[in-house]
Amino acid sequence: MRILTLVDARTGHARQVAGLAQLIGRRREVEVVERRIVPRRLMSERVRWLMSHLSFLSPERLLRRSYGIDLDEVGNFDLVIGSGRPSILAGSLIARATGAPFVYCGRVAGYATDHMALVLVPYAADGHWPRHAYAPIPSPIEPETYPAPRRLRQLTDLAGAHVALLVGGPSSRRGWTTVEWAELSYFILSAERELGIRWSIATSQRTPATARDMLHTTFGSLAEGCDWVDFSVEGPGSADRLYGADAICVTSDSTSMIAEGLAAMRPVVGIQSHRLRRSRDDTQLALLQTEGSFSDLPLNGLKPSAFAATLLQLTPPTVDPRARLYEVLEPVIGPL
């Protein structure tokens, strides 16, 4: 099976399409070709949205004009996978021109879906729309590659427990101030001193340089620090080695990293910075909290005692999220 993956500049989007292709590759022989999607200068979001509704226009011509893509050079594929808004129109046009099913990861928000085979949405409220399916965010995390986590049932279990902190950054939904980065750093040091936690810390594409430097200094002050991962130096995928920790702590501006922590079959604690605007993420994170493996805590006033009480109530997930992804993919690409 030949799979064309469409990626933009955001690491999270690239990991979703890579994870979905990898998932299929576990059960079928696949050849994966990645294509970077960059809309041309005049192809704004609004123009691309409009073009998705004009099905009488030539898809081959639109691909050349919108993205500089020549289908003769792209070749034939059995499946197209995309994530990130620049890939919505591109994937739809390729599907129209070639007949290959197009699977998109994320919300399409008004784009025409007539030529999409499947839209994977991480929001339960969106799963009823035509050609949509509610499913976990795909990722390349494979839990069987990590040792089983230490079960954390009582306070003494936290002494020496390995907790990985995955740090995002400012987003359209969550902001971060210098004071909040300082609060996060203070919490890390306090949790090590009071609970005996051994921290690993990883930054991400959205982590500002000032925050990265502050956290690196904090990590250097830890007596039992495990691992420091600097995204700006090591790049995408470098934090994957941390998913073998006993528990995962994630700044909850990143739903993708929360999903990856759960995909690693670890208990996950989110840490909230201040909200810029309400979004579907708030509702979805609240739903996740009912499942027993995730909880979301406000950074403001966060104490190690509250963190410990929350973490000790969580249990590792028992249902592999890949099972749901296989379930929704099979009607599109056949038995897996």
Same fold, 2-140+323-333 and 150-313: yes
Domain residue limits, the chain: 2-140+323-333, 150-313
Tell me yes or no: is domain 150-313 CATH 3.40.50.300: no
Using DSSP, state whether 28 is helix, strand or coil: coil
Q: What is the pLDDT of residue 69?
A: 92
Q: What is the pLDDT of residue 17?
A: 96
Q: What is the pLDDT of residue 56?
A: 84
Rounded Cα distance, 182 and 204, in Å: 17
Q: How many residues does the chain have?
A: 336
Q: b/e string for 96-124 if b means 16 or more Cβ within 10 A?
A: bbbebbbbbbbbbeebbbebbbbbbbbbe
**Within a 13 Å sphere around the CA of 152, how many CA atoms are in the beta-carbon half?**
29
pLDDT tens across the length of the chain (336 residues): 999 999 998 999 999 999 999 999 999 999 999 999 999 988 898 999 898 998 888 999 999 999 999 988 888 899 999 999 999 999 999 999 999 999 999 999 889 999 999 999 999 889 999 999 999 999 999 999 999 999 999 999 999 999 999 999 999 899 999 999 999 999 999 999 999 999 999 999 999 999 999 999 999 999 878 999 999 999 999 999 999 999 999 999 999 999 999 999 999 999 999 998 888 889 889 999 999 999 999 999 999 999 999 999 999 999 999 999 999 999 999 988
Six-digit token string for 288: 């996740």
Q: What is the pLDDT of residue 110?
A: 87
In contact, 224 and 192? CB cutoff 8 Å:
yes
Tell me yes or no: is domain 2-140+323-333 CATH 1.10.20: no
Rounded Cα distance, 263 and 319, in Å: 9
In contact, 131 and 119? CB cutoff 8 Å:
yes
Q: Distance of CA 279 to CAs 30, 207, 255, 270, 285, Å?
A: 36, 21, 12, 16, 10
